[in-house]
Structure 1
Amino acid sequence: MRVLLAGATGVVGRELVAQLRAAGHEVLALTRSPGRLTGVTPVVADLTDRDAVLAAVEGHEADAVVHQATAISGVPLFHRDLHATDALREHGTATLVEATRRMGARRFVTQSFFLGYGYHDHGPDPVTEDRPFAPPGRGPFEVHMRAMRHNERLALETPGIEGVALRYGMFYGPEPATRRLVELARRRLLPVFRPSGVIAPVHVHDAASAAVAALERGRGAYNIAGDEAVSFGAYVRALAAAVGAPEPYTVPSWPLRAAPYAYAMLVRTRIRLSTEKARRELGWSPAYPTLRDGIRRSCPG
């Protein structure tokens, strides 16, 4: 396929470029920085500028569009840290759907997120894709839920487009946020909060391989994560162990209430994701099924 990829220089995007090319696909990379990419055809525009994007794709044809653009560069602490990504999920997705039509493409794959199921305790059973997604949120959380809701509706409900939404777990691997956390763990500056939430991590390699599989075979929404949910405490300890750092300090979680978004994500949310649908329909499975597998390869001591 000839694929327009938005977010080609991002965490998942860089890995996805390599995997798309290895699978025989041709990549058009929507980017503001064409000099940072090789082996692709650059389409130079800022996704936040609708008119510039539509002008840039003029004259190009594609079979599919993949949206992996995000403005998150680390672990978000405050609601404002998500606002730029919220805009990409709403307005950026709308622009890419319009570009999809103008380029004659029929398939559209978008990056979605596991926290669209809600920032709360989901109980011990794995959450499947038929669970309500992005229900109305309270206060500032509704801004994020609305963006995730709108992103998926555009992908999955636009007439004439075969849409896929990949509901990724928390990314980790050879990427900036993980490297920053590793350095903090190395200096014993990354504590374990008590209590801590439970999340479903996904290695960036596996996130990209799911996108390739979804591009070729997907339709609808899919949870994409490793086989094992972990607490944030276990995640921090795994990082420290991988680099030979001392056992992290354990501290109470209540001071995190000063950063409401971080508290909701790191403490209040407990979620396990079922990936059975992705395995069954996409033929996808993670190369790094557990956090320990991925950390060993990504964070050598």
Structure 2
Amino acid sequence: MRVLIAGGTGALGVPIVTRLLAGGHDVIGVTRGQPGVDLLRSLNAEAVTADVLDREALLRATEGVRADVVISELTALKKAPLRHADMRRTDVLRTTGTANLLAAARAVGATRFITQSMVFGYGYRDLGPTAITEDAPFGMPQGDAFDEHLAAMAANEKQAFAAEGIEGVALRYGLLYGNDLAAIEAMLRHRTMPTTRSGGALPWVHHMDAAAATVAAVERGVGGQAYNVVSDESATFGAVLEQIASATGAPRPYVVPTWLVRTMAPYGAAMMHGVSMLVSNAKARGRLAWSPVHRTVHEGVAASADLLRSSTSS
């Protein structure tokens, strides 16, 4: 198949492109500038240049392109979001960006649209001890500052599912980790990545496992369906930082009072302390024939640390 991907140059996008190409698919990446073009071409993918928030420019850039599938891996996050303002451009990408990419999908003749979603659409709060399935309410307001992000995630999925003549598929990823291990190690060494003393269980997924699930959705996903893409076990934010510190030899994360994090970084505080959820990946396992290679964060961090050591020593 020919696959058009937006967001194909990031920590998740690159392994998706690599896996698609290895699976015999042709890949065209949408990127905003020459560095992205150079990266995509170095992977043996094609590239077109456009800002997905500029619909006319996007349609011009994809004129004459033909694709069977369009993938949206759009975010504006260069680092972990700490404040609600840090999420707003990503919210726009999930609303306006998705609408523009769907217009491009129709123009290039695509019949399938895979969109990046997140398990946090189930809610930024303690969701109890029962594993959440895709049938749970998604994107519902909870009466606080997180509602704008929930609305954007809901709009993203609804647009994909409602697109006429296109099979829309949503992948609800857990917190992504793995390919950014060097950046997190650096933050731990520079003492810029704190944690709180306690925290809720969070669903995670390694970048490489998320990429494998995305390719599985390209090949086997069913239109109108969402799939949870998470590892088999949840872990607190603090526990994951401790594992990264141990695996890389970085200093342990320093602990700050929860009230201080809530004041200085209200969005980040939710990840460190406020959110707790267990999420089932049974549907993705059964329907996409996918399973995470890294079943736990401990396994994934260890594998990424080994890869990081081998790359820095060579």
TM-score by length of 1: 0.95
8 Å contact from structure 1 (residues 63, 104) kept in 2: yes
Give 2:270's match in structure 1, choosing from 255, 264, 270. Answer: 264
Q: Which residue of 2 aligns with 1:279?
A: 285
Residue identity matched to 1:151: N
8 Å contact from structure 1 (residues 10, 70) kept in 2: no
Query: For 1:30-179, what aligned pairs fall within 5 Å after superposition?
Result: 30-33=30-33, 34-38=37-41, 39-175=44-180, 178-179=181-182
8 Å contact from structure 2 (residues 117, 153) kept in 1: yes
Give 2:211's match in structure 1, choosing from 208, 212, 217. Answer: 208
Q: Which residue of 2 aligns with 1:28?
A: 28
Residue identity matched to 1:277: K
Identity percentage over the alignment? 46
Superimposed CA distance per residue, residues 192-227 of structure 1 (whole angstroms, 9 cap, x where no aligned partner): 412213211111001111000001111210000111
> After the TM superposition, which of the residue ranges 67-76 and 275-284 deviates more from structure 2?
67-76
Give 1:298's match in structure 2, choosing from 279, 300, 304. Answer: 304
Q: Could you tell me how far apart the structure 2 residues matched to 1:171 and 1:11 are?
A: 9
Deviation at 1:186, TM superposition (A): 3.6
Cα RMSD for the two superposed structures = 1.5
8 Å contact from structure 1 (residues 223, 273) kept in 2: yes
Deviation at 1:165, TM superposition (A): 0.2
Q: Could you tell me how far apart the structure 2 residues matched to 1:245 and 1:40 are?
A: 36
TM-score by length of 2: 0.91
8 Å contact from structure 1 (residues 210, 224) kept in 2: yes
Q: Could you tell me how far apart the structure 1 residues matched to 2:78 and 2:201 are?
A: 21
Give 1:183's match in structure 2, choosing from 180, 183, 186. Answer: 186
Residue identity matched to 1:80: A
Superimposed CA distance per residue, residues 121-174 of structure 1 (whole angstroms, 9 cap, x where no aligned partner): 011111110000000242432211111011000111222111110000001012
8 Å contact from structure 2 (residues 195, 272) kept in 1: no
Deviation at 1:265, TM superposition (A): 2.3
8 Å contact from structure 1 (residues 225, 273) kept in 2: yes
Residue identity matched to 2:198: P
Relative to structure 1, the CA distance from residue 190 to residue 29 in structure 2 (aligned partners, 3 Å threshold; closer, same or farther) is closer
8 Å contact from structure 2 (residues 238, 272) kept in 1: no
Q: Which residue of 1 aligns with 2:11?
A: 11
Residue identity matched to 1:85: T
User: Secondary structure of 2:47's partner?
Assistant: strand
Q: Could you tell me how far apart the structure 1 residues matched to 2:105 and 2:157 are?
A: 15
* Ranges in structure 1 where 5+ consecutive residues have no aligned partner: none
8 Å contact from structure 2 (residues 285, 291) kept in 1: yes
Q: Which residue of 2 aligns with 1:229?
A: 234
Q: Could you tell me how far apart the structure 2 residues matched to 1:135 and 1:14 are?
A: 32
Residue identity matched to 1:279: R
Deviation at 1:102, TM superposition (A): 1.0
